A and B are shown apart, each in its own frame.
Chain A
Amino acid sequence: MTPNDADALVTQLPTPTPSAPAPDVAPPAAPATLDDVRRVAQRLRERMRDQVMGRDDIIELVLVALFADGHVLLEDYPGSGKTTLAKALGHSIVDDRRQDELADFRRIQFTPDLLPSDVTGVMIFDTVTNAFSFRRGPVFAYVVLVDEINRTSPKVQSALLEAMAEKQVTVDNTTHRLDELFFVLATQNPLDSVGTYPLPMAQLDRFLFKLSMKHIDRASELEVLRTWGTPRAPRELPKVTRGDVVTSRGLVRQQVAVDERVQECLVDIARLLRADKRVRQGVSTRCLVQAIPALQTLAVLRGRDYVSSADLESLAPVLFAHRLDVAPGVQVDALITETLRGPIDRLSRQTIGGA
């Protein structure tokens, strides 16, 4: 049995089977400019919007996380389209590297009886070869949807943690590298807390964003009802390749300018948040490190090649909110918005030469 066969047999997770053959997805050449990056992002966006309605803001932030090499925690009520969104993203990226034999998309439903090996993979004894071989777990994929992450035990959560932070899994003292494009979309339900294991702060810190999906607006909801269940017009939107995404990440990192004053502003915000009396635990330095690519990506998505105060304004709440431990009764979002004002004002003043 080849590893490939084993994969197909054991994981029992839905394999991506696009209804129609994938069109010629690859752009003529690999992305070379920020405009190309924008085009890649636009394709992904179009595909996701086709599946998920009224969630443009969330889609944009998911794209930012994807290009910024971060992971996203989606928090919302059941039936609000979390899984649909993740699937839409996973199925939009095609594998252009057949040799690594990785799936485009995997979904893990976290349950209380799950074991770490169910996530990472396990060594099994092959009676034919009389040797142990590693059977890959579901994390060996480009996009992984982790459903209800707070329903499983901490040891499973920790196993995922290593995978997310290091992009590798270790089984029986053997380290297996995950793909460079390893993107986790985790979901959790904020209300049903019976029998859950809430993620500790340290683990929340591994997620670039925690996004709360608000209920969609009336028109979008009506549109969902109207189109639900009816076979869609076979509409084939172009996909993107794994290579596109990975190359884009590098381009964004290199070509989008982050001024020293913007960095100062970011650090000032973080320091102000830490110094605030209402905050019990402030944001980490890792958070700031991760914030830079996210800011760069958002700048690109908004058609700029430099990071500006508007990017800081947009991303600060989703970047910092889940990393702050605040005193009871304090509204985190209001606190962040309030803290932003001073540094943002200073940055804006600096652009016209102090004053």
Chain B
Amino acid sequence: MSAAGDARPSVAALKALVLVVGALFFLVPISTPAGLAAAVGGIALACYVTFRFGARIRAGRGALVGLGVVLAGWLVERLFTAVAWPWSPQTSLVLADAASLGLIAAGAVFALRVLSRRLRGVAAVEFALVVAAVAHAFAAHRHERIHQPRALADLAWTNGVDPQSALAVIGVAVVVLAAMLLLEVRSATRTVAALLIVALLGLLALQLGSSLGPPKKLEEDELGLAKDDAEEKGAPKDGDGQGDGTGGKADKDGKDNKDGKGGGSGPPQPVAVVLLQDELPDSPVLYFRQAVRSKQVGDALVQDTSGLLDPDVPVAVPAGGTLSLPSPQAPALHQAFDTTMFLLVDHAQLPGLGHPDQLTMLENPDPRRFVAAYSVRSQLLVRPPERLFGREASGGSLSEAQRAAYLALPGDPRYRELSDRIVRDVDPRFVGDDVMKAFALKQYLEKQGFYSLAQRQLVGETPTANFLFGELKGYCVHFAHAATFLFRSQGIPARVALGYAVQTSRRGAGSSVLIYGTDAHAWPEIYLEGVGWVTFDIYPERSDEPPRPPMEQELEVVYGELARKDATGGRGAPVTPLDLPLGRIALGLVAAALVAAYAVKLTRRLTRATPAQVYRAVLDRLSDVGAGRHFGESRERHAQRLAPLAPSFQPLTDAHLRLSLKGPEPDTARRLEQLARATVAELHARLSLRQRLTAALNPIGWWFTR
């Protein structure tokens, strides 16, 4: 954003356009159409005023006036919103938006433009602001949130274009525009700075381009599920990138499924899309089980790798086809339920709704978006757990080894003491009822427990015991382990299930469910005779966690439609299914433009058939270092201006003009050639190495030769 070229309407218009685009990027998500129009108008006005009268405006006063206008905009906004007006509140809001945004945009741009005419530093700030505004819009698009920025994404969807590509194209366009503006500068130093910035922007564009490829296999700490479960559980893995400093075995087992700590920055990240094929069961929470931990090792539970336990849980991803699992679930009490899962993030084990008994790998509908696709047939308990009273939890249908493993406890006698004490208070009519016992234990934990993700001091050899016999303050993993051990101490086979728990209330009306990383959860399961494994989650009544922010259902719909192979994300019928890698095409075009620019540069440098071309070659060299002729400057004046840089340029210009305006004479061409060589030699001698290098690299210097 140099001030040098401001005198020309084309450059001024280009700059105004860049500012408008930057402002639009920033304002579209937060403003009304009226406000947008007003802002664009304000920017255009400010640009026009500075273009037209900029030379007469003093920088300091201009900046003050601009700030004054910004302040006025703010005051107007307060005025419109704070005072009751005869018209409707909505009109008030629209008026406030339009007036304030128009004034603020006009004032800010005016101040910036006026200052940047005088101070290079401010010109850089101005440029940085535009880049930041655009980058801000792109930033909304991070973390797989493909429906942001909404207006743009919707437009792209409805035209059958992937918004990621569209954003990349816009990014590249901004880069090219910025490059053109930056290279149109008059001093060599600024050219260097400009080239650097352009290079950085180019890197940014490349980054955007690469993000168009298949999504990276995320290995987020938050998503312990996505990473840890396939690995061998035997070896302790302290400090493997997941440890938050708690260390110990409980860390390994407990920490990696901390239900969505929601910490970290940014919005929660979607990890999987679920398409529901049947009517949703009437349940407040949908449990997607991914793995189970049954084998007691010390004070913790780990995944059993011997094959003895949990044959109903898929351990490895099937290579293809259908994987059927032996299901212990009783068909009478269960209903088969089909879902289709699309993983956005790589998972070592495949999560499935309820108790999956059949997995079928499907063709990935959009490999750029999804990691894997598979359909799951699940068994869902149709009877609420309250109606299971009287069922036995003897584990009689299990093998002896399995039964022993599902009942294995740590050596600590306090588990049994505590559970005995809790069960003692059960209504005498239900003494001996396993389900009642389980409910009593569950109720104890829910009443006494305190849910907190901030709990960090569960360290040492026996974190579960520390939790259970200590403050009872922890998160789902702690509750699940504690509950499991309590169940087991009462002779109820139990295990810990890991996966995602999705609130059905969050869901929109659509038949798709989006699972976020923050939905990760751990819960206990108990084994009842004649029923199978029953989800037995603990809901602590007290919690210090803030309520979750409401999820946007929009993204759910978009992903759902994508999974259904609707390339528009459900936004409308695409005109033509355009599946071009637009980002790459744009990058290719930029590269081609660059090559073409260098080709033109070289051709013009080497073509020396006529004296005019010889002179033009010298002009090109001057343009490369930003010493080109200004608009409206006569050739003589230009030569005079450059006399300190290249003294021979003046006689060269005279010779050229004489030849052009008077007519050819026998000796002129040769003399012109000599003078041209002398000028180039002088340039070479007077320019620093750095300047010569930038001049050689400048691809579009010739564009500004006039």
Task: Establish whether residues A304 and B631, one from each chain, have CB atoms under 8 Å apart when the complex forms.
Answer: no
C-alpha spacing A349/B610, complex, angstroms:
15
Task: Establish whether residues B661 and A262, one from each chain, have CB atoms under 8 Å apart when the complex forms.
Answer: yes
Of A259, A304, A309, A352, the contact of B612 (CB 8 Å cutoff): A352
Task: Establish whether residues B619 and A352, one from each chain, have CB atoms under 8 Å apart when the complex forms.
Answer: yes
C-alpha spacing A309/B633, complex, angstroms:
9
- Residues of chain A with a CB closer than 8 A to B658's CB: 304-306
Stretch from B183-191, B208-216, B267-275, B634-642 forming part of the interface with A: B634-642
- Nearest CB to that of B629 among chain A residues? A348
Taking the complex as formed, is A341 at the interface, i.e. its CB lies under 8 A from any CB of chain B?
Answer: yes
- Residues of chain B with a CB closer than 8 A to A310's CB: 634-637
B340 vs chain A, min Cβ distance (A): 62
- Nearest CB to that of B662 among chain A residues? A306
Task: Establish whether residues B636 and A309, one from each chain, have CB atoms under 8 Å apart when the complex forms.
Answer: yes
- Nearest CB to that of B7 among chain A residues? A341
Q: Known contacts A257-B662, A259-B661; is A351 also within 8 Å of B631 by CB?
A: no
C-alpha spacing A304/B650, complex, angstroms:
14
- Nearest CB to that of A351 among chain B residues? B660
C-alpha spacing A309/B661, complex, angstroms:
10
Task: Establish whether residues A309 and B634, one from each chain, have CB atoms under 8 Å apart when the complex forms.
Answer: yes
- Nearest CB to that of B654 among chain A residues? A304
A225 vs chain B, min Cβ distance (A): 34
Taking the complex as formed, is A353 at the interface, i.e. its CB lies under 8 A from any CB of chain B?
Answer: yes
C-alpha spacing A262/B663, complex, angstroms:
13
Of B637, B656, B663, B705, the contact of A351 (CB 8 Å cutoff): B656
Instruction: Report B581-625 residues with CB < 8 Å from chain A CB.
Output: 610, 612-613, 615-616, 619
Task: Establish whether residues B632 and A351, one from each chain, have CB atoms under 8 Å apart when the complex forms.
Answer: no
- Residues of chain A with a CB closer than 8 A to B629's CB: 348
Task: Establish whether residues A340 and B619, one from each chain, have CB atoms under 8 Å apart when the complex forms.
Answer: no
Of B612, B616, B634, B705, the contact of A344 (CB 8 Å cutoff): B634
Of A304, A305, A341, A355, the contact of B632 (CB 8 Å cutoff): A341
Taking the complex as formed, is A308 at the interface, i.e. its CB lies under 8 A from any CB of chain B?
Answer: yes
Task: Establish whether residues A353 and B632, one from each chain, have CB atoms under 8 Å apart when the complex forms.
Answer: no
Task: Establish whether residues A351 and B636, one from each chain, have CB atoms under 8 Å apart when the complex forms.
Answer: no
A355 vs chain B, min Cβ distance (A): 7
C-alpha spacing A309/B705, complex, angstroms:
18
Task: Establish whether residues A257 and B661, one from each chain, have CB atoms under 8 Å apart when the complex forms.
Answer: yes
Of A304, A348, A353, the contact of B706 (CB 8 Å cutoff): A348
- Nearest CB to that of A262 among chain B residues? B661
Of B632, B661, B705, the contact of A261 (CB 8 Å cutoff): B661
Taking the complex as formed, is A48 at the interface, i.e. its CB lies under 8 A from any CB of chain B?
Answer: no
- Chain A interface SS verdict (over half): helix
- Nearest CB to that of A258 among chain B residues? B661
Taking the complex as formed, is A313 at the interface, i.e. its CB lies under 8 A from any CB of chain B?
Answer: yes
C-alpha spacing A233/B14, complex, angstroms:
64
Task: Establish whether residues A308 and B636, one from each chain, have CB atoms under 8 Å apart when the complex forms.
Answer: yes
- Residues of chain B with a CB closer than 8 A to A349's CB: 706
Task: Establish whether residues B657 and A313, one from each chain, have CB atoms under 8 Å apart when the complex forms.
Answer: no
Task: Establish whether residues A308 and B635, one from each chain, have CB atoms under 8 Å apart when the complex forms.
Answer: yes
- Residues of chain A with a CB closer than 8 A to B705's CB: 352, 355
- Nearest CB to that of A313 among chain B residues? B634
C-alpha spacing A31/B143, complex, angstroms:
86
Interface string of A318-355 (1 = CB under 8 A from B): 00000000000000000000001110110011111101
Task: Establish whether residues B661 and A351, one from each chain, have CB atoms under 8 Å apart when the complex forms.
Answer: yes
A300 vs chain B, min Cβ distance (A): 13
Of B632, B636, B654, B661, the contact of A345 (CB 8 Å cutoff): B632
Total count of chain A residues near the partner, CB < 8 A: 25
Taking the complex as formed, is A73 at the interface, i.e. its CB lies under 8 A from any CB of chain B?
Answer: no
Task: Establish whether residues A307 and B631, one from each chain, have CB atoms under 8 Å apart when the complex forms.
Answer: no
A38 vs chain B, min Cβ distance (A): 16
Task: Establish whether residues A344 and B632, one from each chain, have CB atoms under 8 Å apart when the complex forms.
Answer: yes
C-alpha spacing A353/B634, complex, angstroms:
16
Task: Establish whether residues A308 and B663, one from each chain, have CB atoms under 8 Å apart when the complex forms.
Answer: no
- Residues of chain B with a CB closer than 8 A to A305's CB: 658, 662
Q: Known contacts A308-B657, A352-B615, A353-B613; is A340 also within 8 Å of B632 by CB?
A: yes
Interface string of A296-307 (1 = CB under 8 A from B): 000000001111
C-alpha spacing A351/B615, complex, angstroms:
10
Which of B631, B632, B654 has most chain A Cβ within 10 Å? B632
Task: Establish whether residues B632 and A342, one from each chain, have CB atoms under 8 Å apart when the complex forms.
Answer: yes
- Nearest CB to that of A312 among chain B residues? B634
Task: Establish whether residues B661 and A308, one from each chain, have CB atoms under 8 Å apart when the complex forms.
Answer: yes
Task: Establish whether residues A345 and B662, one from each chain, have CB atoms under 8 Å apart when the complex forms.
Answer: no
B666 vs chain A, min Cβ distance (A): 15
B618 vs chain A, min Cβ distance (A): 10
Which of A312, A313, A342, A345 has most chain B Cβ within 10 Å? A345
C-alpha spacing A262/B661, complex, angstroms:
8
B640 vs chain A, min Cβ distance (A): 9
Task: Establish whether residues A345 and B635, one from each chain, have CB atoms under 8 Å apart when the complex forms.
Answer: no
Task: Establish whether residues B637 and A353, one from each chain, have CB atoms under 8 Å apart when the complex forms.
Answer: no
- Residues of chain B with a CB closer than 8 A to A344's CB: 632-634
Instruction: Report B636-688 residues with CB < 8 Å from chain A CB.
Output: 636-637, 654, 656-658, 660-663
- Residues of chain B with a CB closer than 8 A to A340's CB: 632
- Nearest CB to that of B617 among chain A residues? A352
Task: Establish whether residues A353 and B661, one from each chain, have CB atoms under 8 Å apart when the complex forms.
Answer: no
A305 vs chain B, min Cβ distance (A): 6
- Residues of chain A with a CB closer than 8 A to B663's CB: 257
- Nearest CB to that of A343 among chain B residues? B632
C-alpha spacing A100/B197, complex, angstroms:
78
C-alpha spacing A304/B615, complex, angstroms:
19
Task: Establish whether residues B636 and A355, one from each chain, have CB atoms under 8 Å apart when the complex forms.
Answer: no
Interface string of B530-543 (1 = CB under 8 A from A): 00000000000000
Q: Known contacts A349-B706, A355-B706; is A308 also within 8 Å of B612 by CB?
A: no
Task: Establish whether residues A351 and B619, one from each chain, have CB atoms under 8 Å apart when the complex forms.
Answer: no
A256 vs chain B, min Cβ distance (A): 9
A120 vs chain B, min Cβ distance (A): 43
Which of A304, A340, A342, A351 has most chain B Cβ within 10 Å? A351
- Nearest CB to that of A339 among chain B residues? B632
B374 vs chain A, min Cβ distance (A): 63
C-alpha spacing A57/B661, complex, angstroms:
25
Interface string of B353-366 (1 = CB under 8 A from A): 00000000000000
Of B612, B632, B634, B657, the contact of A306 (CB 8 Å cutoff): B657
C-alpha spacing A341/B632, complex, angstroms:
4
A337 vs chain B, min Cβ distance (A): 9
- Nearest CB to that of B615 among chain A residues? A352
- Residues of chain A with a CB closer than 8 A to B637's CB: 310, 313
- Residues of chain A with a CB closer than 8 A to B634's CB: 308-310, 312-313, 344, 348
Task: Establish whether residues B662 and A353, one from each chain, have CB atoms under 8 Å apart when the complex forms.
Answer: no
A3 vs chain B, min Cβ distance (A): 48
A202 vs chain B, min Cβ distance (A): 32
C-alpha spacing A344/B637, complex, angstroms:
11
- Residues of chain B with a CB closer than 8 A to A262's CB: 661
C-alpha spacing A304/B636, complex, angstroms:
12
C-alpha spacing A342/B657, complex, angstroms:
18
Task: Establish whether residues A348 and B661, one from each chain, have CB atoms under 8 Å apart when the complex forms.
Answer: no
Interface string of A248-281 (1 = CB under 8 A from B): 0000000001010110000000000000000000
- Residues of chain A with a CB closer than 8 A to B613's CB: 352-353
Task: Establish whether residues B636 and A352, one from each chain, have CB atoms under 8 Å apart when the complex forms.
Answer: no
- Residues of chain A with a CB closer than 8 A to B612's CB: 351-353
B658 vs chain A, min Cβ distance (A): 6
Task: Establish whether residues B661 and A352, one from each chain, have CB atoms under 8 Å apart when the complex forms.
Answer: no
C-alpha spacing A351/B629, complex, angstroms:
13
Which of B636, B637, B705 has most chain A Cβ within 10 Å? B636
C-alpha spacing A341/B630, complex, angstroms:
10
- Nearest CB to that of A354 among chain B residues? B612
C-alpha spacing A257/B663, complex, angstroms:
9
6 more contacts with CB within 8 A, not counting A308-B657, A345-B706, are A308-B635, A310-B637, A341-B632, A352-B619, A352-B705, A353-B612
User: Can you list 15 residue pairs at the A/B interface with Cβ under 8 Å?
Assistant: A259-B661, A304-B658, A308-B657, A308-B661, A309-B635, A310-B636, A310-B637, A345-B706, A348-B635, A350-B660, A351-B635, A353-B612, A353-B613, A355-B616, A355-B705
Q: What are the nearest 7 A-B pairs in CB distance?
A: A341-B632, A306-B662, A310-B636, A309-B634, A351-B660, A259-B661, A257-B662
